[in-house]
Chains A and B, each alone.
Chain A
Amino acid sequence: QARLVQSGAEVKNPGASLKVSCKASGYTFSDYDIQWVRQAPGGGLEWMGWINPKHGGTNYAQKFEGRVTLTWDTSTSTAYMEMTSLRSTDTAVYYCARDRSVVWLDPWGQGTLVTVSS
């Protein structure tokens, strides 16, 4: 069945950049968008953006425009989320999820804990 496996936890200094990977298996990678969502400590889920691996289209929440770049590699069925200029408020668990339909996210990756601290 469909599965998403994300890269491991990261610790970053403020101002650094981050790249999280999300490797898909069990389905045709290019057939579905990949969504990215994060959850800060004690907070709720926050939508970040999506990428369409077939057409290369992307869309970002206004909050992340210019600081987040979503990319993909069809040859390895892997999606990537890159974030620059990290700050302490970016400390969160980052999730990728397959978008089966509009806002029907299934499955989700296991999450990647990112800690931004000096």
Chain B
Amino acid sequence: QSALTQPASVSGSPGQSITISCTGTSSDIGTYNYVSWYQHHPGKAPKVLISEVSYRPSGVSNRFSGSKSGNTASLTISGLQPEDEADYYCSSYIRFSTYVFGTGTKVTVL
């Protein structure tokens, strides 16, 4: 199973909104509503931001939102802040209880 495709990098100025895409296939994102997004600061443990495409767990800022259209899921960060500078990964259920992560996106706050 190949990794889901994400842009290598996305950047924005403080206060702006950015969107990170995560492209899969009809065998993963296109079929299942089990897409999660993780924020990963180097040297720290990843942190879940979104689960089940658009559900935001308790404690996660409402500046993070998720959506899906066809084979592509998206994470939007609104009101970009310096602490949002990190790596972001999507993840999807595939089939037969297996999973796959995206290639990862480095977000830079200009």
Q: Footprint of B on A, CB under 8 Å?
A: 35, 37, 44-47, 50, 59, 61-62, 95, 97, 100-111
Contact = CB atoms under 8 A, between A and B. Distances in A.
A77 B104 CA distance: 31
A102 B46 contact: no
B37 to A, nearest CB: 10
B101 A105 contact: no
Nearest to A61: B98
A105 B3 contact: no
Interface in B73-110: 89, 91-93, 96-104
B89 A109 contact: no
B101 A45 contact: yes
- The A contact surface, by secondary structure, is strand
Nearest to A35: B99
Contacts of B102: 44
Contacts of A101: 51-52
Contacts of A62: 1
A44 B48 contact: no
Contacts of A108: 45-47
B10 to A, nearest CB: 15
A103 B28 CA distance: 12
A103 B46 contact: no
Contacts of A97: 46
A104 B46 contact: no
A50 B92 contact: no
B45 A103 contact: no
B87 to A, nearest CB: 8
Given A62-B1, A108-B45, A102 B101 contact: no
